[in-house]
Amino acid sequence: MGGMRSFPLLLLGMLALAIGVGACHSGLDEAMDSYADARYPTAAAQFRAEEPAARRLNQREFAHYALYRGLTHLALGDAQAAIRWVGYAKQCADREPLVFGEQERGALLSAWRSMGHLPGEPASASLAVSH
């Protein structure tokens, strides 16, 4: 299943492009590296530590941060945090359908369904974080 292994790497590359990563390796890059390597506890801690920096991103970039932070929490079985972060990403996708590429949108909808929601069901503003 080499394709499954390359999926997180593809998502990592897309996030790096979305947040304009330059030559330096940021804390967000490290969080994404940990996510891509399935080191979810480390990724969750790194995403939490980088939240102040992530909140300075524009709304589109913050949506990507929220998606991957939510996917990380979902992988760890932290439903409450996953609902908040995936919910925010879903709200962004509902408002701006092209905010995520095809692969990321698929990951978002898969996470959304795994949390007991229907694909067309909108995210509740009360469940998600605010930017």
Average pLDDT value for residue range 114-118: 88
Task: Determine what percent of the chain is predicted with pLDDT higher than 90.
Answer: 66
CA distance 122 to 124: 6
Pairwise CA distance, residues 80 & 98, whole Å: 26
Is pLDDT at 101 greater than 80 in this prediction?
A: yes
Report how far apart, in Å, the C-alpha atoms of 76 and of each of 24, 41, 62, 82, 124 are.
29, 7, 21, 9, 22
| Least confident piece of the model among 10-14, 78-82, 124-128 | 10-14
Name residues whose C-beta falls within 8 Å of residue 51's C-beta, 6 or more positions apart in sequence. Answer: none
Sorted by where each begins, the domain ranges of the chain are 2-114
d(CA 11, CA 103): 7
Contact 64, 18 (CB under 8 A): yes
The CATH number of domain 2-114 is 1.25.40: yes
Tokens of 27: 């804390």
Tokens found for residue 23: 């030559």
Predicted TM-score (pTM) of this structure: 0.76
Work out the average pLDDT over 5-27.
49
Angle, helix 79-95 to helix 59-76, in steps of 10 degrees: 150
pLDDT tens readout for residues 30-63 = 999 999 999 999 999 999 999 999 999 999 999 9
